[in-house]
Structure 1
Amino acid sequence: MNTRFLETLVVLTRVGSFRETAEALHVTQTAVSQRIASLEDLIGLELIDRSSRKLALTPQGEYIVTQAKRMLKLEKEMLQYARSDTPPSGKVGIGATETVVKTWLSPLILELNQTLPLIDPEITVDTSANLKDLFRRKKIDVLIQDTPFPEATGTSDFLVRPICDYVVHWVASPKLVPHTQRMSLQELAEYRLLTFSRQSLPRAHLQNLFMDRELEPTICSFPSVESILQLVLDGYGVAAIPGAFVVKELEAGTLVRLAGPALPTINTTAITRRGETAAIRETAKLAVHMAAQLAQRLHERTGQAWMHAARESAD
């Protein structure tokens, strides 16, 4: 029996709606309905009382939920027992964007080496589009990126772990913009605007922000974070980038943060395949942990939230 069907039924009875169940499991409502229907077909019983306006179980459904909880608990205990004496080991291909490289990839690798020394990480740094292609072709095991991965929607084939949200700021060299008072979109449009590659979500967000006001600024896109940083330091333009990239420069005064229209955060996730090995699972979990540590350190150091860390789970 597919325990994912049982898990879906248990979550459905806990949260009380198909929509919230879909959100909790990172699948579509259609996928939730299909799982419940498949479970009913498998055991030959109606579990959901479809004559009720509110979600309600049939008497048989109540019994099956009780047994499902027992089976899921037993499965978890067996897996924990099987894994307890065998430390995770083996090669793990990690694909990451420069956003991750610039912030917490190095601490992740160092922590892997210290706490999980039998894991051999192989790092690939590239654009989100190229990393997705490598992940589809199973060339990497953990996809850490900041754009949607359509294949992970409406299927149980992948696990999507939220990692963090980067807060995006307007920054510039004081040589270019000597003041830090609030700037309007019209004022910002007078400068070259520096951001990520043309296919990236941050660039699309930036372009849409100005299009809504019928403004056409010069938007310069770069695949390299280091290129953006060097150009903004040289006074070439105003950058719309995560503030976590430039905390040191802001503290040193070589860059200033401009007060301007709010920009969408950059949402980072770790995506793995269902049935992942222990090494892959622990690597993805450690990625979530290291991002949370960095977010906390930056907040303690500066008193500002440069990143919003996702809540760590025990999966």
Structure 2
Amino acid sequence: MNLRFLETFVWVARLKSFRLTAEKLFTTQASVSSRIAALEADLGVKLLLRDSRGVSLTPEGGKVLEYAERMLDTAKAMKQSLDSDRAKTGRIRLGVMDTVIHTWMSALVADLGERYPQIEIELVADTALNLREQLQKGFLDVILQTDLLREQSIRSLDLARYPMGWLVATGSPQHRAYASLADLARERIVTFSKNSRPHQEVLSLLQGAGADAPRLNCVNSVAAITRLLRDGFGIGALPPALVDGELSRGELVLLAGLQPPPSLELVVAWQTGVALVDEVVGVCRQVLERYARDVGEQRIVLV
């Protein structure tokens, strides 16, 4: 429903004159008449009566007026709220793990910049372990990483799961059928940094499948892992969401028929009592939901 038409109707009802409404809204009487006619056609009822004595509301018009005034008040309040956000100043220190950087980080920074143009965004990219330590010491305000934190001054929220997979360069020696995870573990495995949650889970999975000494190569950079995989260095244990482009171009392929590593968890954690932090967490959730709708559950699953 067109808010401009509703506003025109409200002013005609208040001023009881098409001429005065046209002057109020800096338009013409013909435009006012056209807007009212369009609104009546949209609603399927007659809203106003015009005669020699002026303009009056029909019974249906009286009902519509109540709703129209509330809708205009709501729209005004929404605009004031957004204007208030845009006037806020300060700094938000945001820490993110590499997985977020390579999926929806750009959209998050763009949304934050648009909503809070006066806010300085200080972005830190690091491992989940280091991000947690920096948050606990008060060096960061919000972090996006893999673990729920339970401390008095920190809140955390489970957001999503990135499904994991086994990825290899198309046509490489590692691009073949594997009888089992133990067979797979004879190859060089490339995964996240040592002692990270995904590294420990990949190691436990392979050892549980009978691989006594898996050949794990730990790298703390998604870009470096991707380059190594494209060059045929080994088999990657990471979320396919990180290499969507390489998969779509056929440079990498997802191995089928094997149990994948456990999904990579995504958790937001933040310092309580810091200005704007709750709002920033809300924007994180909105942007993530939009990203999840775009890529589908094969790439990320919301909690």
Match of 1:143 in 2: 143
CA offsets, 1:238-257, max 9 Å, x none? 00101100111111110000
Match of 1:253 in 2: 250
Identity of aligned residues (%): 26
Let me know the Cα RMSD of the aligned residues. 2.3
Deviation at 1:156, TM superposition (A): 4.9
Which residue of structure 1 aligns with residue 229 of structure 2? 232
Distance, in Å, in 1 between the alignment partners of 2:114 and 2:223 is 28
Structure 2: distance between partners of 1:103 and 1:163? 14
Confirm whether residue 196 of structure 1 aligns to residue 192 of structure 2.
yes
Q: Who is 1:171 aligned against?
A: 167
1:193 is paired with a residue whose SS is strand
| 2:263 match | 265
Letter in 2 for 1:307: I
Matched, 1:116 2:116: yes
What 5-or-longer segments of structure 1 have no aligned partner? 1-79, 311-315
2:105, 2:176 → 1: CA distance?
31
TM-score (norm 1): 0.65
Asked if 2 retains the 8 angstrom alpha-carbon contact of 1:164 and 1:288, the reply is: no
Q: Is the 8 A contact 1:295 1:305 kept in 2?
A: no
SS in structure 1 of the partner of residue 129 of structure 2 = helix
Summarize deviations over 1:226-285 as a string: whole Å, max 9, x none. Answer: 1111001000100010110011111111000001113211111111122232x2111111
Give the alignment of 1:231-310 within 5 angstroms: 231-259=228-256, 260-277=258-275, 279-299=276-296, 305-310=298-303
Cα distance in 1 for partners of 2:277, 2:205 equals 38
Aligned pair in 2 of structure 1 residues 213, 178: CA closer, same or farther (>3 Å)? closer
Q: Which moved more, 1:253-262 or 1:129-138?
A: 129-138
1:273 alignment partner AA:
Q
The residue identity in structure 2 corresponding to 1:163 is L
- Equivalent residue of 1:144, what SS? strand
Indicate if the aligned counterparts of 1:180 and 1:257 stay in contact, CA closer than 8 A: no
1:174-189 residue pairs with structure 2 within 5 A?
174-177=170-173, 183-189=179-185
Cα contact 1:169–1:241 (8 A) shared by 2? yes
Contact 1:172–1:235 under 8 Å retained in 2: yes
Match runs of 1:129-140 below 5 Å? 129-140=129-140
Measured in 2, the distance between the counterparts of 1:193 and 1:147 equals 24
Mapping 1:15-164, distance limit 5 Å? 84=81, 86-87=84-85, 88-149=88-149, 152=150, 155-164=151-160
Give the counterpart letter for 2:273 in structure 1: G
